[in-house]
Amino acid sequence: MLQTDPVFRVRDLSKTYRTGAVEVQALRGVNFQARAGEFVVILGPSGSGKSTFLNIIGGLDSATSGDVWFMDHDLTRAGDAALTRYRRDHVGFVFQFYNLVPSLTARENVRLVTEIARRPMKPEEALAMVGLSDRMDHFPAELSGGEQQRVAIARAIAKNPEVLLCDEPTGALDSHTGIKVLEALTNVNAVIGATTLVITHNAAIQDIAHRVVRFANGTIMSEEVNATRKAPAEVSW
Amino acid sequence: MSALSPLRLKLLRDLRRLWAQALAIALVMGAGVATLVLGVGAYASLDQTRAAYYTDSRFADVFADVTRAPRTLASRIAAIDGVLAVETRIARLALTRIEGMEEPGNAMLISAPGEGAGALNQLYLRSGRLPDPQSPREAVISEGFAKAHGFEPGARFTVLMNGQSRDLLVTGVALSPEYIYALGPGDAMPDERRFGIIWMSQKALASAFDLEGAFSSVSVKLAPGASQAAVIAEIDRLLAPYGGTGAYGRKDQLSHAFLDAELQQLRGMSQVLPPIFLVVAAFLVNMTLSRLVALEREQIGLLKAIGYGPWAIAGHYVEFVLAIAVIGIAIGFGAGTWLGMELAQLYARFFHFPYLIFSRDPSVYAIAALITLGAAVAGAANAVRSVAWLPPAVAMQPPAPLRYRRFMGGLFEAAHLVGQSGVMVARHLLRWPLRTASSILGAALAVAVLVGSQWSEGSMDRMIDVVFFRTARQDATLTFAQEQRMPALYDSARLPGVLAAEPFRMVGVRISNGPISRRVALQGLPEGVTELSRVLGTDEAPMTMPEDGVILSEALAQILGVRTGDLVDITLLDGDQRSFATPVSGISLGYLGLGAYAGLPALDRMTGRPGRISGVNLALDPAQEAAFYAAVRATPMTGFLALNRLSVEKFRTTLAENVTIMTTVYTVLGAIIAIGVVYNFARIVLSEQGRELASLRVLGFTRGEVARILYAEIAVVVLIAQPLGWLIGWGFANAVLAAFSSELYRVPLIVTPWVYAKSSLVALAAAIGSAALIRGRINRLDMIEVLKTRE
Ligand SMILES: Nc1ncnc2c1ncn2[C@@H]1O[C@H](COP(=O)(O)OP(=O)(O)O)[C@@H](O)[C@H]1O
Ligand SMILES: [Mg+2]
């Protein structure tokens, strides 16, 4: 893997949720870096702060303290407009619940993003990359869960993002369908070189990553680099 | 501590969470309830007040005027079968001269009724005392007249009675049941400044008008169950030799007739508009609440999953809407009662009632409350029913998968006209055509109630234009004290400042077709084309007076059921009371009162008394007004003077006061409905699509771009609703108009573009305001929340 400048630099990131008198420390002093083109799997028990972390580096949420840099963008000090711009130009998201627009077809869901992106690929190209060329004109309700998730991936990558952030992308899928989705992700990572962060609670998936990061209790407990990566088809759960 | 069940707590929290929407719904309900309560309340209050006042003051049932009849005749009238009480008196018109008022005013001089309990048409003294029976100068004056001139007991002014001027001393201010609606001679609207009622002692008036031992007017109270027609016929027979002009019942008594017409208008508005408002509000509440409850689908599934039965869940949501309905009804009761009282008071001031009885009919409140509650509960039930009885697992899922379709073969999409967000908007609206249709209908109804409340201004303008500027184009009408011969026309034409003079003759007649008949003044105008007082045809072109036959106004022709060419029977009310048949030679346009016209020569033949005129219509030189007024005062033949310019002003301001205030009340309530509907619509669309819009924010759509998608949907609905709203509003206006019209007022339906524009402006302003109000919510859409839950 190329040794380039880190795409993400996260230092002492903390996040505290306050609801009335109750305080929840979701993140306590996270330090993290990711390099361009890296495929990182994030593991950890439920409630350990994974999603909070991903949301903050994806510009969906704000930090309580610490620094988050995406290349030369200081995300911790950015306002809503700057964060929107950041998401629009640089980030692709994939979530457990696909969050497709039900009134738009697969192709149109992708076009939704390409319309506002700076250097998009063709919607058809993005859908081909996730193996959905023959399903482009179907509405979400006419697609299976795995297919919907692949549309979501296509939508995420169609803008040629620098980073692809996935929160439990296979969480709602059976293993056979999940593997198809993971194949789409690794394929995209390899082809467009987007730095990819995938949250999962499924330890079997860790083998497809360059690097595995473990969260516990709001912080990163351990990291390990996989000497060899497996192809998604080789893992099973 | 907390005895509240979790469902109750949820109820309270939901109400707090949705307070703005709940309040908007409650206001819509309140507006619906308030209209019914206020409209019916104002009408019932005035109606009951009038009835009570008539009884208290012993308002007579039959009236008759004569030239001069001996007072001994009174006992013969009293002896007529069915007559309970008789009161004879002297009643004559006079001119007034009041400091600070250039033009001569008119006054009705009446001998004061007795103070005994048996007297008819008793005065209600506001201040002072009745005139001394021996005094030739003391007078009680009507309250409106007193107020218009600032007269109080002790004030003095001059009247010209029978050619002599006399200084009067005001001893009291009073109200009379005969002049609740104090319309002066020749006027279209009461004008207190120019017309007053003056009560003096019998003796004073008798000597001034050479009526010692005689009377010129008689009022009769009928025994319960007596036949009015028989009594009238008998009175007419007795009075005929003394110049009787035909007895008439309350229906033809000027004040009563106009009061009736006004009350009928009020009732028309309160019988038509409030039910429309209430039904519209109910529909909107139903629609809004059912969508609001539909949004709770997942929670309903959850409640079922943990063991709540369908009835418990249905009960919960019914309680929720009932809570809103109760607030709305309370607002409606409060506002309606208050507005009803204000409105009744306003009318009472204009109508001169001595007191006002506020009617609060419990059944009106009950009806308003029941309709509102019913609509609210039905709305909730509608939505709950579809969910509460589903298996929990199904209920927790979103409603059946949304199978969107391409419409118009994807033409729209292919054209790439609107971008994906446009496609979203279009598909949403088309996905639930029923829901979209009901949204459009809701917004249209909001526009419609505004049109239905405001339409009258166009009609009033048109009425004024036709009546005062195209029909009665004279500056002044001088009516002689008695019919004069033709030379009086030339004398009038020589008065200073007179530019043109046209004669007219007024003959009291009963005009009938079979059993249907009406008392009207048959107006004689010169044959050929007149320049000042014109009669317009239904095509609005001036008509020429025919050589033979009569022209009837549309309203009169309709009542009688006759058309051009048909024969009508005419009986003269005075003179030899002859009867004859004559053809209807034309139908004229007329908005005020019932009109009948004939050429002067034809009228000469009909009456058998040729060459007489009742007065002249005049065009005046404004520069010589003062000289003209002085000359009119000095001319003994003057009976009274009507001034068109002042009439039209009074007409306008009075209408402005009455109609505008009424209209304003309804318009404000209509606006509340419009705002409530559009705001709720916007909020619901936001709730229904919040999730989708938040996802778009995640994808990098800006707040503005997301807002635009929502706004586009609202805009499409609101814009499509406008023409539909105009159409429905026009229908509403028509319904109100039908109830509005009476024999005295016949209002043309003219809804001006400005009325449509104003109604739409209010609705659009409501939409823009609502859009602004929900902008904050769009900005705060929780992006993370949507990622956690599945749809
Ligand atoms: N909006 C929120 N308000 C309050 N607490 C929150 C919120 N979001 C997350 N949390 C809390 O923060 C902690 C971390 O949550 P999260 O990042 O979602 O964990 P993970 O994704 O690892 O399961 C949890 O304890 C969770 O309850
Ligand atoms: Mg998570």
Q: Is pLDDT of B415 > 60? A: no
Residue A1 lies in a domain: no
Lowest-pLDDT range of A31-35, A55-59, B77-81, B407-411: B407-411
Say yes or no for a CB contact (<8 Å) between A99 and B698.
yes
B780 and A CB contact within 8 Å: no
Quote the pLDDT of residue B403.
Answer: 57
User: Which residues lie closer than 8 Å to B329 by C-beta, 6 or more apart?
Assistant: B29, B30, B33, B368, B369, B372, B373
pLDDT-derived band at A80 (thresholds 50, 70, 90) equals: confident
Say yes or no for a CB contact (<8 Å) between B700 and A91.
yes
Other C-beta atoms within 10 Å of B408: how many? 11
Q: Is pLDDT of B400 > 60? A: no
**Nearest to B395, CA basis, from B309, B480, B466:** B309
Query: Mean pLDDT over residues B641-670, rounded?
Result: 80
CA of B93 to the centre of ligand 1 (A): 92
Instruction: Tell me the C-alpha distance between B588 and B533, whole Å.
Output: 13
B417 and A CB contact within 8 Å: no
Residue A26 lies in a domain: yes
pLDDT-derived band at B552 (thresholds 50, 70, 90) equals: very high
Out of B446-455, B683-692, B751-760, the most confident range is: B751-760
Quote the pLDDT of residue B1.
Answer: 43
Number of domains in chain A: 1
Q: Is pLDDT of B293 > 80? A: no
Q: For residue B716, what is the enclosing H or E element?
A: helix B703-740
pLDDT-derived band at A41 (thresholds 50, 70, 90) equals: very high
- What are the tens digits of pLDDT across the range B346-379? 887 788 899 888 888 888 899 889 988 888 888 7
More confident residue, B530 or B5: B530
**Nearest to B530, CA basis, from B541, B518, B542:** B542
With the most atoms of ligand 1 within 8 angstroms of its CB, the residue from A52, A97, A167 to mutate is A52
Mark which residues 687-706 of B lie under 8 Å from A by CB.
692, 695-703, 705
More confident residue, B724 or B299: B724
Instruction: Tell me the C-alpha distance between B231 and A199, whole Å.
Output: 102
Q: Is the pTM of this model over 0.90?
A: no
Q: Is pLDDT of B785 > 80? A: no
Residues of chain A with Cβ-Cβ distance to B700 below 8 Å are 84-85, 87-89, 91, 113, 116-117
B580: left (phi over 0), alpha (psi -120 to 50) or beta: beta
Query: Mean pLDDT over residues B156-172, rounded?
Result: 90
pLDDT-derived band at B639 (thresholds 50, 70, 90) equals: confident
Out of A140-149, A177-186, B380-389, B495-504, the most confident range is: B495-504
Q: Is pLDDT of B2 > 80? A: no
A81 and B CB contact within 8 Å: yes
With the most atoms of ligand 1 within 8 angstroms of its CB, the residue from A13, A17, A48, A56 to mutate is A17
B787 and A CB contact within 8 Å: yes
Residue A129 lies in a domain: yes
Residues of chain A with Cβ-Cβ distance to B419 below 8 Å are 115
CA of B777 to the centre of ligand 1 (A): 23
Q: Is pLDDT of A44 > 80? A: yes
Quote the pLDDT of residue B761.
Answer: 92
Q: Is pLDDT of B298 > 50? A: yes
- What are the tens digits of pLDDT across the range B51-65? 999 999 999 999 999
Residue A133 lies in a domain: yes
Query: Mean pLDDT over residues B538-567, rounded?
Result: 92
Q: How many helices (H) and strands (E) does chain B have?
A: 23, 20
Q: Is pLDDT of A131 > 70? A: yes
Query: Mean pLDDT over residues B386-394, rounded?
Result: 68
Say yes or no for a CB contact (<8 Å) between A60 and B784.
yes
Please state the φ and ψ torsions of residue A201, each to the nearest 5 degrees. -105, 10
More confident residue, B259 or B293: B259
**Nearest to B763, CA basis, from B664, B673, B686:** B673
pLDDT-derived band at B263 (thresholds 50, 70, 90) equals: confident
Instruction: Tell me the C-alpha distance between B724 and B575, whole Å.
Output: 59
Quote the pLDDT of residue B37.
Answer: 87
Task: Identify the nearest ligand to the CA of A171 by its number.
Answer: 2
Quote the pLDDT of residue A169.
Answer: 87
Question: What token pair was written down for B745?
Answer: 């007022």
Three-class DSSP labels, B15-37: HHHCHHHHHHHHHHHHHHHHHHH
Quote the pLDDT of residue A124.
Answer: 93
Q: Is the ipTM of this complex over 0.90?
A: no
Q: Is pLDDT of B411 > 70? A: no
More confident residue, A106 or B460: A106
pLDDT-derived band at B686 (thresholds 50, 70, 90) equals: confident
Residue A95 lies in a domain: yes
pLDDT-derived band at B131 (thresholds 50, 70, 90) equals: very high
Q: What is the CATH number of the domain that holds A33?
A: 3.40.50.300
Residue A71, domain extent: 6-234
pLDDT-derived band at B3 (thresholds 50, 70, 90) equals: low
Percentage of residues in chain B with pLDDT exceeding 70? 95
Q: Is pLDDT of B791 > 50? A: no
Q: Is pLDDT of A120 > 80? A: yes
Torsion, Cα B49 B51 B55 B58, to 10 degrees, reads 100
Quote the pLDDT of residue B471.
Answer: 85
- What are the tens digits of pLDDT across the range B661-680? 777 877 887 788 778 878 88
